[in-house]
Chains A and B, each alone.
Chain A
Amino acid sequence: MTATTAPLAALALGDDALVLSHRLGEWAGHAPVLEEEVALANIALDLLGQARVLLSMAGDEDELAYLREERAFRNLQLVEQPNGDFAHTIARQLYFSTYQRLLYGQLAAGKTRFAGLAAKAVKEVAYHQDHAEQWTLRLGDGTDESHQRMDRACAALWRFTGEMFQPVDGLDGVDREELRTAWEESVGQVLGRATLTVPEGPRTGAWTAGAGRQGVHTEPFGRMLAEMQHLHRSHPGASW
C-alpha cells in the first residue's frame, strides 16, 4: 500500500503521535531534573504506542514512518515544532494533549474505527494533559523568569492551534465546534490559574488553514525527518 492512498484520518492521528513522540524523545538525557526524564519518556512511549496502532491501520508502520516524504506527512504543524526550552515543550504539550484528550474522548464514544484505540488512549492522554497542566501552573506561577518564558512559549505556539479544529476526512463524527469550545475553555482555565494570559493573535498562519494536515510543514520538520529516516533508508529492504 502506498502512502498516498492510506486513509487520511489514521495518518493524521498516527503522524501527530509519531512526530510528538519523536520530539519528546529528543529530551532524553537533557531533562531539567531526573524525575522529569522518566515522565517525558513515559509520555513519549505512550504516544509511540498509539502511533504504531494508528499507522498499522493505514499500512506498514515502518514503511509509513520511514519511507514517506515530508509532504506526505499529515501531522499538525504544532507537534513538529522544535522542543525549545522546557516552557516551549510544556506549552506544546498543553495545547496538544488538551486537544487529543477531547478528540479521543469523542472518538471513544463514537462509532468510527478509532473507537477502540481512543478508549484506551484517552486514559494515557488524560495523564499527559495533567502533566502539562501541573507544569504550566508551576512555570506560570513560579519565578519571574519562568513566568516570562512560559508566557513567550504560549504566545509563540498559539498560531499553530487553529489547525486542530479543521475538518479531517474520516473523522466526520467529530463535533468540531464542541471540540473548539471545550479546548478554549480548558486551556484558558489552566492559563488563568497559572497567572498567564490567553494569547491574542491569529490562530492560523499565512498558509491555508489546516496546512500540516494537507502536507505543508515548517522548516524544522524536514531536518527532523532526515535524522529519523536516514538509517532506515540507507539499508533498503533490511530488517531491524
Chain B
Amino acid sequence: MATTAHRTARTREDDRTDGRSDEDVLASAYETAFDAAVAADERIEPRDWMPDAYRSTLVRQIAQHAHSEIIGMQPEANWITRAPSLRRKAILMAKVQDEAGHGLYLYSAAETLGTSREELLDKLHSGRQKYSSIFNYPTLTWADVGAIGWLVDGAAITNQVPLCRCSYGPYARAMVRICKEESFHQRQGYELLLTLSRGTPEQHAMAQDAVDRWWWPSLMMFGPPDDESQHSAQSMAWKIKRHSNDELRQRFVDICVPQAESLGLTLPDPELRWNEERGHYDFGPIDWSEFKQVLKGNGPCNEQRMSRRRRAHEEGAWVREAAAAYATKHNGAETTSAGETSAGDTAAGRTGTAHTGETGVRRA
C-alpha cells in the first residue's frame, strides 16, 4: 500500500519526467514558496521543497557539526580516568555523555534531509566530511579540560545560539536542545580553571599553559575571515547562518577578555586592547597557515582521532550485527506498550518501509 508520503514523492517524480514545461512551472512555484518562507522567517520543514544546494549545504554543515561532537568526545575522555576528584569525574563523564547525545540529535536532524547516519559516518571515516579542527589538538594536562569548557565550548555556544533561529526547522530545534544542555559545559570549564588559578602555583601555571595553547585555536573555530569564506554569503541569504564569521569572532573576544581577568589568567595576545572608537577589543592577527595545515590533516592529532574513531566503529560492527540479527529472529514477539497507548492518541496507521526522519524525505 502506498502511503501518503510515497504518493507525494511519486507525484513529484512523475511530474519531473512528464515534460519540461510542467516541471519548470512546478519548480518555479516551489522556489517562490521557499523564498517567501525564508523571507518571512518561517521555518523550512523536512517535507517542504527546497533547492538542492540548500539541502546539500545543510547536510554538510549539520554532518560536520555532528562529527565534531563525536570526535570531540576523545580529547576530553582522555581525562575521565584521571579526573582528580570524584566530583570532577562525574561532571566530566556527564559532559562527554552529552556530547554523544548532541551528536545523536544532529545526526537525526541530518537524516531528515534524506541521508542516513551510516552514510554520514562513512563519509567521516573516509575523510570525505570534516569535523571541527579544534579537536585535532591534544589535551596535555587536566587544565585542558577546563580550557575546552571555557574557550572551545564558549566559542561553540557563540556560534550555536544564532543557529537556534536557523531557517531549517529540525536543525534549529536540535540546536535549542543542545544550547540548553551546553550551558553547563562552559560553566564547569570556567569553574575548573578558576579553582586551578586560585590553587597552588603549579595548578595556576597549569591553567595558564592550557589557556595559552587553546586561545588561538578557539578563535579559528569561527572559520576564515569573511572575505575568504566560501559559503558564508549564500548561507546568510538562506538564513542558515545569521552572523558572519568575523562578527561572531569579535563577539567571542569581547566576552572572553573580562572573563579572563576574573580568572586571574592572561590571554596570549600582546595586541589585545580595548578600542574605544569601535566599542570592541582589538586583537592580533590569526595564524591562518596553521589553521590550513590542521584542516589539511597535519594537526597534532588528526591521525589519532580518525583511527580511533574508525577502530571503535569497526570493533562495534559485530555488536550491531548481533542486535540486528536478534531483532530479525524475534520480530513480532516484541513487548510493546500498545495496550496503554490509545489508538486515537498515536500517529496514524502502519505502512510501508520508508525510512524517514521526522517523517521527512524518503531515504533512497
Q: Which residues of A contact B (CB under 8 A)?
A: 18, 22, 25-26, 28-38, 41-42, 44-45, 48-49, 51-52, 55, 61-62, 65-66, 85-86, 137-139, 141-143, 145-146, 149, 227-228, 230-232, 235, 237-240
Contact = CB atoms under 8 A, between A and B. Distances in A.
A28 B96 contact: yes
B77 A28 contact: yes
A142 B326 contact: yes
Nearest to A86: B319
Given A29-B74, A49-B90, A86-B316, A138 B82 contact: no
Contacts of A139: 319, 322
Contacts of B74: 29
A44 B94 CA distance: 9
Contacts of B73: 28-29, 37
Interface stretch (B42-50, B100-108, B267-275, B350-358): B100-108
Q: Specify the main secondary structure of chain A where it touches its partner.
A: helix
Contacts of B318: 143, 145-146, 149
Contact of A41 (B81, B97, B142, B199): B97
Contacts of A138: 322-323, 326
A41 B200 contact: no
Given A32-B319, A33-B320, A149-B318, A141 B85 contact: no
A85 B77 CA distance: 18
Nearest to B324: A142
A25 B81 contact: yes
A227 B195 CA distance: 22
Interface residues of B, number: 48
A111 to B, nearest CB: 28
19 contacts: A18-B86, A29-B77, A31-B100, A32-B317, A32-B320, A33-B319, A33-B320, A37-B73, A42-B97, A45-B90, A48-B90, A51-B86, A66-B84, A142-B325, A146-B322, A146-B325, A235-B203, A240-B84, A240-B85
Contacts of A66: 84-85
A143 B89 contact: no
A33 B318 CA distance: 11
> Which secondary structure dominates where chain B touches chain A?
helix
Interface in B317-364: 317-326, 329-330
Nearest to B73: A29
A11 to B, nearest CB: 14
A25 B142 CA distance: 16
Contacts of A86: 316, 319
A222 to B, nearest CB: 14
Given A29-B77, A85-B315, A62 B329 contact: no
Nearest to B88: A240
B202 interface: yes
Interface string B248-264: 00000000000000000
Nearest to B206: A235
A240 B88 CA distance: 8
Nearest to A236: B200
B325 A38 contact: no
A137 B84 CA distance: 37
Given A25-B81, A25-B89, A25-B93, A35 B326 contact: no
Given A34-B70, A139-B322, A41 B100 contact: yes
Interface in B189-208: 192, 195-196, 199-200, 202-203
A65 B90 CA distance: 13
Contacts of B308: 29-30
A240 B188 CA distance: 12
A145 B325 CA distance: 11
B86 A48 contact: yes
B322 to A, nearest CB: 3
B329 A26 contact: no
B104 A143 contact: no
Contacts of B325: 142-143, 146
Nearest to A24: B93
Interface in B281-331: 308, 312, 315-326, 329-330
A26 B323 contact: no
A216 to B, nearest CB: 23
